[in-house]
Every structure is written in structure tokens, then in C-alpha cells.
Amino acid sequence: MIDVALALDARAELGEGPVWDDRRACLFWVDIMRGLVHAYDPATGADRAFDVGQPVGAVMPTSGDDLVLAVRDGFARLDPATGAVRLVAAIAHDHPDRRMNDGNCDAAGRFWAGTMALDERPGAGALYRLDPDGRVRTMLTGVTISNGLDWSDDGRVMFYADTGTGRVDCFDVDPATGDISGRRPFVTVPPDCGAPDGLTVDCDGGVWLALWGGGALHRYFPDGALDEIVRLPVTHPTSCAFGGVDCRDLYITTAAIALDADARAAQPQAGGLFRCRPGVAGRPANRFGGAR
């Protein structure tokens, strides 16, 4: 059994998108609907929040000193030294009730992030890619809740969760161009286990998946077989990422937004940031605009 501990009593409404920045030795994560980007320092326990002025679905370090964000209006850059935010690529939504939800960078430094409708209606979202040259490409349409994504170590397989499908799917990837093809199911999550949310791939090719409403993480072998279940003291984990000095700490973001008053009272740690040591290492995060 893997023990899970509360690292930070963050009380986030919708914590998401953890990513370890090895240069700063801190974990960045977001509280989506509050429009906050957090920087958590495990050495001191300090957590600093940046208000970016609109819902923010994902954050990633860059090859420079700033951060790249997936925000409601598109893609933005955040300077942690000053807190200044600037939009660098707008996304033209055909309805005003869309927002970004989750994202990640591939090994070529391309930032992938997707959208969803606020009412979660089927097919209203899409998956986009911001390239280092500033161009935005639409990679998928007809998405319901664009969620976690990561790649195999050779970059030739992308794992992707559209929560509305109840699955994590695989795509074949051309690492040079980033083009994707050959979509197929990787795992289907039984409804009584929760809904697929954020995910990360470890050094052994295992896929760690947060289960919204399921109170757990699942680890799957590269062939899709279930390997490990990590139980949490809250029902709505949202994503996970490896970090720490040895990249063996697994950080888990959670949410309280789906809980009524009674459930919040029963889960006082909902919205907290959790940590465990599952016995396997993760990989350093890719950076926008450059390699790890």
C-alpha cells in the first residue's frame, strides 16, 4: 500500500496541472476557476499564488525564465519575478463559455492544451498546440473535456484523456512534426471507478491516471493492464506529476468544486495538494520552446 500525505492544505476549488520545475526546485500548479497559478516550495512549505485574471487550465516552465499558460482566452506568458501576464496567442471560441482545462509540453517544446464548455456539453471542446514559433494548430475537435496528456519516452505515442469518453486513448506521433494519427483506446475506466482526468508517464512507461470522483490514482502498465491503485482521502483528484530532487515524489492535485456542504465537511482536505513515494521515478518536465 502506498501512503499518501497532505503536502499543502491549499483549499483549492479546482486544483489542476501540477508540474515540477527542476531549475527552481518548486512545483507549479493551478486553481482553474480562481485564475491562480501557484508555486509550491517543498523545502520551506511556502506557496505563492499569481492571479492571472482569468481561468487558467495549465502551466509549464519554458526554456527561459518565465512560464507559459493555457488560459481561457488562449495562450499566455507569466513572469514570476513581476507577476506580469501577457497573451501571446488568442483562441477564437465560437461560444463564450469555453475555457482551457489541461496541458503539457512535448519533447520538442510544443505546448498542447485543450478546452471544454463550462456546462460540459459533449463535443464542444478541442485540443490545440502552441508551437515555439508562436503558431497555434488545432489538433483535435469534438472533444468534451480535454484532459491529461503525456508521451512515451521515445515520443512516438501520446496518451490522452477526453473525460467524456471514459477512456485514455493512444495516438501515434511523428516526433519531428508533432502530427498525430491512429487513435485507439489504451484503457477504459469503469464508471464506478471514477472518470479519467490528468495523467503522467513514469520512467518505466507506466501511466498514472487521476480518477475524478473515484478518490484514487491508477497506474497502468504500458500494455494497459492495471498495476497499482493509490487511494486518497478525498474523492476528486485531478492530476499528478513527479517531482522532488530525485523525481520520485508524486504530487497530486485535488478539487472541492464538485462537493456540496456536507461533502466538504466530510472531506476537509479536499482541494489540497498531496504527495506520495510510489517507488518509481518520473521524468523531468519538458519546457516550452526547448528540451528538458
User: Is 47 among the catalytic positions?
Assistant: no
At 229, list the grid cell. Answer: 491503485
Is residue 68 within 8 A of residue 130, CB to CB? The reply is: yes
Distance CA 138, CA 48 (A): 33
Bridge-partner residues for 239, per DSSP?
Answer: 253
Separation of alpha carbons 256 and 269, rounded Å? 9
Bin 271: left if φ > 0, else alpha if -120 < ψ < 50, else beta: left
Which letter does DSSP use for residue 263 in this model?
A: H
**Burial of residue 246, with CB atoms counted within 10 A of its CB: 0-12 exposed, 13-18 middle, 19 or more buried:** exposed
Give the cell for residue 164. 467524456
Catalytic residue among 150, 197, 202, 249: 197
In sequence order, what are the beta bridge partners of 243? 249
Q: How far is CA 123 from CA 113, 126, 213, in A?
A: 16, 8, 21
Alpha-carbon Rg of the chain, whole angstroms?
17
The torsion region of residue 166 among left (phi > 0), alpha (psi -120 to 50) and beta comes to: left
Instruction: Please list the active-site residues.
Output: 197
